[in-house]
A and B are shown apart, each in its own frame.
Chain A
Amino acid sequence: MSNSAASRDGYGHALISMSEDPKLVVLEADLGKSTKSCWFREKFPERTISCGIGEQNMMLVAAGLASSGYKPFASTFAIFTERAFEQVRNGIARPNLPVHICGSHGGTHTGTDGSSAQSIEDLAIYRTLPNMTVMHPCDDYSTQQLTMKLLSHDSPSYTRTARNKTPRIYELNDSRLEIGKGVLLKSGSDVAIIACGVMVSKSIEAAEKLSEMGIDAAVVDMHTLKPLDESLVYELASKCKGIVTVEDHSVIGGLGGAVAEYLSESKPTILRRVGVRDRFGESGQAEEMLQLLNISTKDIIKSALDIVKME
C-alpha cells in the first residue's frame, strides 16, 4: 500500500462508508470527480443530487434537506464554497442546520491552476460563523475518519481537503482522532509546532531536522480549527518556550489566527505564524508554491530556531 495519498480521497471513501445510513444525501456542483463524491454517485445515484455549476443553490438545497431530517454532505472546491458564503451564513449556520460542507483543492498546494483556485481564506471565513465546526485534516485516513464522525455531529461543519498527495500520517481508524481534539504526533519540550492539513507532514520533517540540531520540537496535528483544542495549546505553551503555527492558508484568521487569539488572552506566549502573508499565489507546482510563499519546511525550521534562540 502506498504511503501517500490525497486527503480528498478520504472524503470519497467516507461517503461510501456511511452509505448504510438512509438519511445520508450527497450533493455535488459539477466537481464530484474532483472532490471524490463521484465514488458515492457511482454506487448510489438515487441519493446523489447534481446541482450543476450552482453552489449558492446547492448550499440551500442541503439546508432544506437537513431541516427535513436528512444528513446532507455537499462538496465543491474550497474556493467555490466561498461564493455561497452568505447562503452558508444565513441559511445553514444561523438556523444551525447540520449541513456538512467539504471544500476540496484548498490552499496554494493545489498548484498549477493558479491563484483563482487557491483558497487561502476559507478556514478564516468559516471560523467566524457561530455554530460552525471547521476542520482541515492532514491525510486521507484522518479525513475519512473525521468525516464519518460528522454523521452524528448535530451542527454544521466545513472541512477543507487537499488535491495533491501527501505522506500518510495515520493508520486507518486511529483512536486518537476526535473532532475538536488535536493530536500530539511528536512530543517535545523546546518548541511546539502546531500544524494543519498538508503542512503537518512538513512539520514532522522540520521537527526531525530540528532534532538533528539538538532541538526538541513537539508536533501537533490541529485538524480542527474550531472549536480549537485550547487545553492542548495551553499545555504546549506551558511546557515549551514558544509556539509555531503552520498552515497553507493566510496567517490572518486561520490556524495562526486562532492560536494567537487564544494565547494572547489566556496565556501570552512567543508565537511565530508560518502561513501565507497577505498575498495571492500563482501557477506553480505544490512544492514550488510552498517555497515561493515561505511556508516550506525550511521556513518552519527558521521560525522554530527564532524562538529557541531568543534571549
Chain B
Amino acid sequence: MGLSRLNGLSDDELVEELKEISRKCRVEIIKMVYRAQAGHPGGSLSEIDLLTALYAINMNVNPNDTKWEDRDRFVLSKGHASPGMYSILAEMGFITHEDLESYRVLGGVCQGHVDMKHTPGVDFSAGSLGMGLSFGLGCSFAAKFDGSPRNCYVMLGDGEIQEGAVWEAMMAARHHELGNLKVILDCNRIQNDDFVESQMRLFNIPEKWSSFGWNVKEIDGHDMYQIIEGMRWFDENNDLPSVLIANTVKGKGVSYMENNPKFHGAAPNEEQYSKALLELGEVI
C-alpha cells in the first residue's frame, strides 16, 4: 500500500521523506495558482501534509490501472483545494507534472475543482461543498456489498461541515456501521469570507462527532509524526466509521498566506510568488 519505495524505513526516515514530498507539492501548488492567477492556495497548503501521508502510507491504488475495482477511493470533498490533490497525484504518477500546467486551462486535465471525468485518480467530481461524505458512503456500501477490503477516504474542510447534509451523512454512516469509511477533517479555521469563528461557530467538533457515534481522533495536521500515527489509527479501527480531526494552518508554509483569509481563493502576484518559492526552499 502507498508508496512502495518508503517501505521498511524507520519512522524518522519516513517523516523526512514525507516532509520532502510535501515541500515539493507545496511548490507545485504555488506554481499552479500563480500560473492560473486564480485558485485556492490556502486550503491546498493546509491539507497537503495530510494528503501526502494518506497517499504515501494508506492508499492502495495503482497509477497504471486507475479504474482498478478494488482500489481504495479518495474523495476530496473540499474540491476547490484541487491544487493540493493534483500535486500529490503527480507525485504518485497518476498524472504528469506537465499536466499540472493545465490547471484551470480550457481542455485541461486539471479542472478548477476536482473532476472525475477529467483527471485520472479522481474518484468524485466535487466543487460544491457538503457532498463528498455522502458519496463516500455510497463507495463504502459498494465495498461492503462486494465483500472487498477496500476503504473509502474522504477529506472535508471545517467550514464545509456548516452544510447540513454532512450531518445527514454522519448519521447514516454510523447507522449502517460503515467501518471502511475514513474521514480526514482539515480544520484550518478559515472559510471563504473570513474565519470560521466569525461566520458560523462550530464549537466542539470532536465532541459533536463523537456524539454521532464515530471513532474520533484529534491531531496536529502538520506534525508528520502525529499524522503517521493517525494514518495507522485508521488501519486499526474498522468497526465503525472514523474521523481524524486535523488542526491545520491555512496557507501553511508561505508566511504571508498563513492564517490569512485573503488567500483562501487568491493567487500571489509576481513578488509574492518569488517570496513563496524562496520560503519553500525552491531555487528559482
Distance in angstroms between the alpha carbons of A129 and B164 in the assembled complex? 24
- Is residue B208 contacting chain A, with contact meaning CB distance below 8 A? no
Q: Which residue of B73, B128, B145, B175 contacts A90 across the interface (Cβ within 8 Å)?
A: B128
Q: A25-B145, A56-B165 are in contact. Are A90 and B127 (CB under 8 A)?
A: yes
Proximity string of chain B (134-162) to chain A, C-beta cutoff 8 Å, 1 when within and 0 when not:
11111111110110000010000000000
Task: Evaluate contact between B128 and A70: CB separation under 8 angstroms.
Answer: no
- Is residue A31 contacting chain B, with contact meaning CB distance below 8 A? no
Task: Evaluate contact between A57 and B137: CB separation under 8 angstroms.
Answer: yes
Contact residues in A for B127 (Cβ distance below 8 Å): 90
- Is residue B279 contacting chain A, with contact meaning CB distance below 8 A? no
**Count of residues in A whose CB is under 8 Å from the partner chain:** 30
Closest to A70 in B: B142
Task: Evaluate contact between B139 and A95: CB separation under 8 angstroms.
Answer: no
Contact residues in A for B69 (Cβ distance below 8 Å): 68-69
Contact residues in B for A148 (Cβ distance below 8 Å): none
Task: Evaluate contact between A69 and B138: CB separation under 8 angstroms.
Answer: no
Q: Which residue of A62, A66, A87, A95 contacts B165 across the interface (Cβ within 8 Å)?
A: A87
Distance in angstroms between the alpha carbons of A245 and B237 in the assembled complex? 58
Total A-B residue pairs with C-beta atoms closer than 8 Å? 102
User: Which of B27-35, B116-124, B242-250 lines the interface with chain A?
Assistant: B116-124
Task: Evaluate contact between A64 and B116: CB separation under 8 angstroms.
Answer: no
Chain A nearest CB from B133 CB (Å) reads 8
Proximity string of chain A (54-89) to chain B, C-beta cutoff 8 Å, 1 when within and 0 when not:
101111111111111110100000000000001100
Chain B nearest CB from A179 CB (Å) reads 23
- Is residue B176 contacting chain A, with contact meaning CB distance below 8 A? yes
Contact residues in B for A94 (Cβ distance below 8 Å): 125
Q: A87-B134, A90-B125 are in contact. Are A56 and B168 (CB under 8 A)?
A: yes
- Is residue B15 contacting chain A, with contact meaning CB distance below 8 A? no
Chain A nearest CB from B47 CB (Å) reads 21
Chain A nearest CB from B137 CB (Å) reads 5
Task: Evaluate contact between A65 and B172: CB separation under 8 angstroms.
Answer: no
- Is residue A49 contacting chain B, with contact meaning CB distance below 8 A? yes
CB contact list, A89-103 vs B, under 8 A: 90-91, 94-96
Task: Evaluate contact between A91 and B125: CB separation under 8 angstroms.
Answer: yes
Chain A nearest CB from B149 CB (Å) reads 14
Q: Which residue of B124, B145, B171 contacts A67 across the interface (Cβ within 8 Å)?
A: B124
Chain A nearest CB from B22 CB (Å) reads 29
Distance in angstroms between the alpha carbons of A87 and B128 in the assembled complex? 9
Q: A57-B134, A57-B137 are in contact. Are A49 and B176 (CB under 8 A)?
A: yes
- Is residue B89 contacting chain A, with contact meaning CB distance below 8 A? no
Closest to B134 in A: A60
Task: Evaluate contact between A54 and B138: CB separation under 8 angstroms.
Answer: no
Distance in angstroms between the alpha carbons of A90 and B116 in the assembled complex? 12
Contact residues in A for B190 (Cβ distance below 8 Å): none
Distance in angstroms between the alpha carbons of A47 and B138 in the assembled complex? 13
Distance in angstroms between the alpha carbons of A95 and B79 in the assembled complex? 14
Distance in angstroms between the alpha carbons of A189 and B241 in the assembled complex? 64
Task: Evaluate contact between B135 and A61: CB separation under 8 angstroms.
Answer: yes
Q: Which residue of A59, A66, A95 contacts B125 across the interface (Cβ within 8 Å)?
A: A95
Q: A66-B138, A67-B138 are in contact. Are A91 and B131 (CB under 8 A)?
A: yes
Contact residues in B for A50 (Cβ distance below 8 Å): 175
Task: Evaluate contact between A64 and B135: CB separation under 8 angstroms.
Answer: yes
Task: Evaluate contact between B138 and A61: CB separation under 8 angstroms.
Answer: yes
Q: A52-B171, A95-B116 are in contact. Are A65 and B125 (CB under 8 A)?
A: no
Chain A nearest CB from B152 CB (Å) reads 8
Q: Which residue of A51, A60, A86 contacts B135 across the interface (Cβ within 8 Å)?
A: A60
Distance in angstroms between the alpha carbons of A96 and B115 in the assembled complex? 12
Closest to B79 in A: A90
Q: A87-B131, A90-B128 are in contact. Are A63 and B138 (CB under 8 A)?
A: yes
- Is residue B169 contacting chain A, with contact meaning CB distance below 8 A? yes
Contact residues in A for B115 (Cβ distance below 8 Å): 95
Task: Evaluate contact between A65 and B141: CB separation under 8 angstroms.
Answer: yes
Q: Which residue of A64, A90, A95 contacts B138 across the interface (Cβ within 8 Å)?
A: A64
Contact residues in B for A67 (Cβ distance below 8 Å): 116, 123-124, 135, 138-139, 142
Task: Evaluate contact between B143 and A56: CB separation under 8 angstroms.
Answer: no
State the 7 A-B residue pairs at the shortest beta-carbon distance, nearest first: A64-B138, A68-B142, A60-B134, A54-B168, A57-B168, A56-B165, A61-B138
Complex A-B: 9 CB contacts under 8 Å: A52-B168, A56-B165, A57-B134, A57-B169, A59-B134, A60-B138, A64-B134, A64-B140, A90-B131
Q: A60-B131, A66-B138, A95-B115 are in contact. List 17 more A-B contacts (CB 8 A).
A: A25-B141, A25-B145, A47-B145, A50-B175, A56-B134, A56-B164, A58-B134, A60-B135, A60-B137, A61-B141, A64-B141, A67-B139, A67-B142, A69-B69, A70-B142, A90-B131, A96-B117
Which residues from chain B sit less than 8 Å from chain A, CB to CB?
69, 73, 115-117, 123-125, 127-128, 131, 134-143, 145-146, 152, 164-165, 168-169, 171-172, 175-176
Which residues from chain A sit less than 8 Å from chain B, CB to CB?
25, 47, 49-52, 54, 56-70, 72, 86-87, 90-91, 94-96
